[in-house]
Amino acid sequence: MPKLTLIQKYNRINITFNGTPLLRDVLVKSGIFVDSPCGGNGICGKCKVRVSGAVSEPNKTEINAGCRLACQTYLLGDVEAELLSQDAEFVNIETDTCNVQSNAEVLWKYGIAVDIGTTTVVLKLFDNSGECLSTVSALNPQRAFASDVIGRIDAALRGNNEILKKQITDCIDELLKYACTSANISLSDVDKRIITGNTAMLYLYTGRLPESISVAPFIADTLFGEFYDGAYLPPCMNAFVGADISCAILASQMCERDEISLLCDIGTNGEIALWKNGRLYVTSAAAGPAFEGGEISCGVGCVSGAIDRVTVDNGEIKATTIDNTKAVGLCGSGLISLVSAFLELGVIDESGYGENIPIINANGGNVQLTQDDIRAFQLAKAAISAAIEIMLKRTETDIKDIKTFYISGGFGNNLSVNDAVKIGLFPKELSKNVKFIGNAALSGAIKLLFDESNIEKIERIAHTSTHIALSGEDDFYKSFINDIDFPINW
């Protein structure tokens, strides 16, 4: 039986296989993370690999990329391989919540709150006094199948459901071990768990086949709000408005205020919530992974060295990176501000076209956007902006009446409101009332961890919400097309 020898830093892993499979498939089925946000189509270049031995000849896709790709290389016999372009296994994500004060009686010793994001998984470990003992996070290993929800649902239905489940449960287990080790406590002492995520992520975490949310009319056969394997999974509101948004709404307390407010979670699946006259309206739009580093040639998560902010100083572009280290790529906030800078300097026009897109240097590392990257970015921002427009239109809400505009997601406070307006992510009228709430999904999960009375609140939020469908609707499609171009005036 032929053997694949995988080199990982100082380790060598031997894997046997049958037939002539793709290198990527062998690695994924062995539980090894391969960054492949394009779903194995050879577009993103993130699964760059060094190979020797009996492999297929480079195909046209690899020749154009100038490297071997795990998603394009077939194993024909004994092979030695090394993955070259993987993001850091553990990444740092700042959230609004650290230590917690709770007025409720806490009956557990140690507890965790987990947010299973499409791109990143974040875990916080607390003791019952409210002290945060450890925060750890990692890239979601399911990215090896696809960067977006639809791709993973498709992968599950093609016989990979158990692998997808194992990937995410193993990821959470490893994060928990890491957190407990750093806090010097035993795994067995953790006796309370809250795990949130979008609807599809909870399907895959529990191993439930996501068939019901894969085809129209997209009616989930469960919306959770239940315990699974000792963890409470908060309720979802719809097939594509998940428990993460229920938690974000809980954390924002928007439904407890007598004002019209809007919440936008900017991520792979852009979700919008509107609170108006005692009613909660929700919707979602598939933005794609561009805001989280996927489908962008130089895109990365919030890792050390990611360009997170770009400014223009006397006609020159200045960039900063996370941890002030050598640039390795662009995270979401850096992508938004770089495109904004290109517009300001006339590097690209309102259609997104630019003839000479410059290389950006930050701390000795070079990063460059391609024309395809800018187009992917335009599609992502158009999905978010069109969703906001249609939400306001369908609910007959005047944008001037919105008192608070909550922005949640991995951007934290690195997102520039002016840059977001300049590229047309959201209307200028909302910029005066912005409130960043960070990883509000995780913040909401923490509220559930410390006060069980919040379970009743979140279930009421989920069960009384009104979903506004966008997919296949003419008004959304027209707004989406109109919003692809960048604004001429801002």
| CATH code for the domain in which residue 61 is found | 3.10.20.30
Alpha carbon distance 311, 306 (integer Å): 15
The answer to whether residues 194 and 120 belong to one domain is yes
The answer to whether residues 317 and 243 belong to one domain is no
The CATH number for 167's domain is 3.30.420.480
The answer to whether residues 177 and 227 belong to one domain is yes
276-280: average pLDDT: 97
The answer to whether residues 162 and 232 belong to one domain is yes
The answer to whether residues 76 and 123 belong to one domain is no
| pLDDT, tens only, 203-242 | 999 999 999 999 988 999 999 999 999 999 999 999 999 9
Percent of the residues in the chain that have a pLDDT greater than 90, as a whole number: 66
167 within domain boundaries: yes
Provide the pLDDT confidence category of residue 322 given band limits of 50, 70 and 90.
confident
The answer to whether residues 121 and 196 belong to one domain is yes
102 within domain boundaries: no
The answer to whether residues 65 and 131 belong to one domain is no
78-85: average pLDDT: 86
77-101: average pLDDT: 64
Q: Is the pLDDT of residue 67 over 90?
A: no
262 within domain boundaries: no
Alpha carbon distance 196, 242 (integer Å): 8
Alpha carbon distance 443, 441 (integer Å): 5
Cα–Cα–Cα angle for 194, 198, 201, nearest 5°?
85
Residue 222 CB contacts under 8 Å (≥ 6 apart), including other chains: 203, 208
Q: Is the pLDDT of residue 96 over 50?
A: no
The answer to whether residues 149 and 241 belong to one domain is yes
289 within domain boundaries: no
pLDDT of residue 101: 73
Alpha carbon distance 41, 376 (integer Å): 15
213 within domain boundaries: yes
Give backbone dihedrals phi and psi of 484, rounded to 5 degrees, phi first. -65, -45
Q: Where is the domain boundary, 367, 388, 403?
A: 367
Provide the pLDDT confidence category of residue 87 given band limits of 50, 70 and 90.
very low
203 within domain boundaries: yes
pLDDT of residue 277: 96
Alpha carbon distance 380, 357 (integer Å): 20
With 0-12 / 13-18 / 19 or more C-beta atoms within 10 angstroms meaning exposed / middle / buried, residue 3 is: middle
Alpha carbon distance 285, 272 (integer Å): 8
The answer to whether residues 115 and 248 belong to one domain is yes
pLDDT of residue 89: 46
276 within domain boundaries: no
Q: Is the pLDDT of residue 459 over 90?
A: yes
pLDDT of residue 126: 96
Give the count of alpha carbons within 13 A of 330, CB side only. Answer: 32
483 within domain boundaries: no
Residue 32 structural domain: 3-83
User: When comparing pLDDT for 67 and 388, which is higher?
Assistant: 388
Q: Where is the domain boundary, 346, 367, 388?
A: 367
With 0-12 / 13-18 / 19 or more C-beta atoms within 10 angstroms meaning exposed / middle / buried, residue 145 is: buried
The 3-class secondary structure across the chain, one letter per residue, is CCEEEEEECCEEEEEECCCCCEHHHHHHHCCCCCCCCCCCCCCCCCCEEEEEEEECCCCHHHHHHCCEECCCCEEEEEEEEEECCCCCCECCCCCCCCCCCCCCCCCCCEEEEEEECCCEEEEEEEECCCCEEEEEEEECHHHHCCCCHHHHHHHHHHHHHHHHHHHHHHHHHHHHHHHHHHHCCCHHHEEEEEEEECHHHHHHHHCCCCCCCCCCCCCCCCCEEEEECCEEEEECCECCECHHHHHHHHHHCHHHCCCCEEEEECCCEEEEEEEECCEEEEEEEECCHHHHCCCCCCECCCCCCEEEEEEEECCEEEEEEHHHCCCCEECHHHHHHHHHHHHHHCCCCCCCCCCCCCCEEECCEEECCCHHHHHHHHHHHHHHHHHHHHHHHHCCCCHHHCCEEEEECCCCCCCCHHHHHHCCCCCHHHHHHEEEEECHHHHHHHHHHHCCHHHHHHHHHHHCCEECCCCCCHHHHHHHHHHHCCCCCC
Domain count for the chain: 3
pLDDT of residue 30: 77
144 and 36 Cβ atoms separated by less than 8 Å:
yes
The answer to whether residues 218 and 171 belong to one domain is yes
Q: Is the pLDDT of residue 312 over 70?
A: yes
Alpha carbon distance 441, 445 (integer Å): 6
The answer to whether residues 148 and 232 belong to one domain is yes
Alpha carbon distance 374, 319 (integer Å): 18
The answer to whether residues 124 and 235 belong to one domain is yes
Q: Is the pLDDT of residue 46 over 80?
A: no
